[in-house]
Every structure is written in C-alpha cells, then in structure tokens.
Amino acid sequence: MGNVRVGMVGYKFMGKAHSNAYRALPMFFPKTPALPVMKAICGRNAEALEQARSQFGWESAETDWRKLIERSDIDVIDINAPSDAHKEIALAAAAAGKHLFCEKPLALNVADAKEMLDAAEAAGIKHMVGFNYRFAPAVQLAKKLVSDGRLGEIYHFRAVFLQDWIIDPSFPLVWRLQKEVAGSGSHGDLGAHLIDLARFLVGEFDEVIGMSETFIKERPLPSEMTGLSAKGDASGARGKVTVDDATLFMTRFENGALGSFEATRFAAGHRSTNAFEINGSKGSVKFDFERLNELEVYFTDDADDVQGFRRVLATDPAHAYMDAWWPAGHTIGYEHTFTHEMQELMLAIHEDRQPVPNFHDGLRCQEVLEAVEQSITERRWVKLAEYK
C-alpha cells in the first residue's frame, strides 16, 4: 500500500482544518507509512472552491460529489459538508469502495447512522468519524491514567461545552440552527464531542435524562448558508429556529459512574470552553480546551503536605504525538488534533484495520444524543438498551 489519495467534500471551517492536517503530516510525521495525497476538493460554488483549492493546496477541484466518487485516482472520501449531506455521500462512496472519513455528528439520527455503518461494513471499507478532541495529548494522558488504574474506580465524569456565538438575537438563521440540516443544535454540535470523550474515557452509557431550551425562537434569514461568523439583517425576513440552544443531561454509566453534561451556545463570555473533570477513588483529572496543553491531576496518595491539584504540561516526548512536534515544553494548538486524527486514518488504512474512532463510535454517540432527546420529549429516564 502506497500513499492514500484523498478527495474531500467541503471547504469551510472543517475543510480548512482537514487540509491543514493533510499538509502537516508529511512535514511532522514523515515516517507515517502511508501519507495523504491531496487529490481533489469538492464544493458547489466553483469560484469559492477554486480559491480554497489553491489556498489549501489541492491538486484539482470537482463541483459535483458524484464525480469525485467516480474518480479512480481517489482512495478515501473525506466528508465535512453540513450534516444533512453526510449519509447520501457516504452511502455512494462506500458503494464505490472508497474509504470514508466523516465529520461529527455522523448523521441526523440513529437510523441514518446505522445505515451508514451497515453500508461501510457491507463494502468492507475503512471508516472514521471526526471526534478530534480525543487526539489532544492531554486527553490521551487522561485516558492513560484511567486505563492504567491510576485514578482507581471512576465515580464522576463532569463535562461542559460552552459557547456564546449566537447570543445576539440578530445573528442569522444559519444551517447549524436548522434541524433538517444539522440534526440538532448545541446538543449534536457540542454535546456530541462530550459524549464521545465520556465513552473514550469512562465507558458506555446506561441511562440518560435531559432538559433543553431554545432561548431565541426566531432569527433573521441569512442571505446564504453562512457559517459561524455570519451577520444578520435584523429588519429582514425571519425564520423559526428548530434546534436547541442549550441541552443539559445526566447519565449513569454501565460501570456505575455518574455523569453530567452541559452544551450551550448561550454562555456569555465563553467562546469555546470544552472542559471535563473525572473523579476516581485514587485521584482526579481536569481538562479545559482553552488550556489544551495542560492536564490538572490529583492523586490521593500524594504526601499530606503537598496534597492538591497539580498542572502537568503534556508537551514532553513522553506524551502522545509530542516527539513529532517541537522540543519538550513547546506547546501545540487546536489544529494539531486534526493532524493526529488524520495520522490515525492513514495508519489504519495502511495496517488494514479500522481507525478509532469509527462509525461504530459515531452510531453509539448518535444513540446517546437521541436517547437524551427522547428523555426530554417523554420527561423520563431513557435506557440505552432501548436502542439495541
């Protein structure tokens, strides 16, 4: 197996993050046995696409994803278009025998996610889902401490993902605020990351109960399907917001640990606070994406006179991925999580195994998302077993 030829659908926020990762891999991880070749980028607006193609460094461009999938010089299709496009593209790509990378949330609902997983399995292709925060070295360190038993029995997982980019009522009704395009609001966009981190670090969910709110129920219509920095015309036509602005929920994990989750786009002052804490019988860890190089750790068996949380800078060669970047102590950022993620995709294809996280993880996450929604609608605890 030589290098892996990539065709990418989408060229906005995630398209840029993925392109940057593909470009960084040969420079910082040159020993990766299969490196990405940036064959073609795909989007509908030819002019904007050409700008992205030359800026991001892709060899060619396609304005129709069906043509991209038909190309014999492409091995993997990377889908980072809005969520409602994931399924159709993934099914067609799998049928054509292409490996898949798909952004989160995998699909609009459990049924679609299941169909995507089944199609990928039937086609015998590799499939990966974009939960990039797993790939922060400090999160990998938290995982190692839990797996090695250094936190003992896990009692609590407490997580928040707080943003404030739609707090202004004149912010327009972009695609992320429309259920038929996005699936859900802060729940699927931000909560999905927390659910994946919880599964990665603590284990499977047993039961959930939640609550949610849409604080601003109508917004100005945008002139185009713009992204996070869109501007609205407060005096123009308005449309209904059909997703949650905030969703909170509680869980009991299968291993008996308790979890609490809060995802909101209405936490004034919080641009992107993605943070969790784990408490076990032998210690605790705290992570905050705003300080993503750090993990706070506490061990119960520290000497009495130095008890307390201490800050570990996860930037030494002992920490995951760090020997590939800079000398010890030199920090990394958000974009590096995507480089690590794409390295996993390349390694898995080369080693003929499924990447992690894959569509199974995407489906499990979708089940938790939907169970929480069901619990809100029916005002009761919902068991994940109801989805089996």
- If the CB atoms of residues 193 and 219 are measured against ligand SOE, the closer one turns out to be 193
- If the CB atoms of residues 60 and 272 are measured against ligand SOE, the closer one turns out to be 272
Instruction: By CB under 6 A, name the one of 20, 260, 272, 331 that touches ligand SOE.
Output: 272
Backbone angles phi, psi at 104, to 5 degrees: -90, 160
Backbone angles phi, psi at 86, to 5 degrees: -55, -50
Three-state SS for 296-326 is EEEECCCCHHHCCCEEEECCCCCCCCHHHCC
- The CB-of-165 to ligand SOE minimum distance in angstroms stands at 7
- The CB-of-296 to ligand SOE minimum distance in angstroms stands at 21
Q: Give the integer Cα–Cα distance in Å for 159 and 198.
A: 8
Residues 128-187 that bind ligand SOE (CB under 6 A): 163
- The CB-of-16 to ligand SOE minimum distance in angstroms stands at 12
CA max distance for the chain: 66
Q: Is residue 189 at the binding interface for ligand SOE, with CB under 6 A as the rule?
A: yes
- If the CB atoms of residues 321 and 338 are measured against ligand SOE, the closer one turns out to be 338
- The CB-of-244 to ligand SOE minimum distance in angstroms stands at 13
- What contacts 377, CB < 8 A, 6 or more positions away? none
- The CB-of-385 to ligand SOE minimum distance in angstroms stands at 28
Q: Is residue 367 at the binding interface for ligand SOE, with CB under 6 A as the rule?
A: no
Residues 190-219 that bind ligand SOE (CB under 6 A): 193
Residue 364 DSSP one-character state = H
- If the CB atoms of residues 274 and 315 are measured against ligand SOE, the closer one turns out to be 274
Retrieve residue 150's tokens: 């250094």
Cα torsion angle, 214, 217, 220, 224, sign: positive
C-alpha separations of 383 from 69, 103, 161, 201, 367 in Å: 39, 26, 24, 20, 10
- The CB-of-73 to ligand SOE minimum distance in angstroms stands at 30
Q: Is residue 344 at the binding interface for ligand SOE, with CB under 6 A as the rule?
A: no
Q: Give the integer Cα–Cα distance in Å for 79 and 9.
A: 5
- If the CB atoms of residues 61 and 177 are measured against ligand SOE, the closer one turns out to be 177
Binding site residues, ligand SOE, CB under 6 A: 163, 189, 193, 228, 272
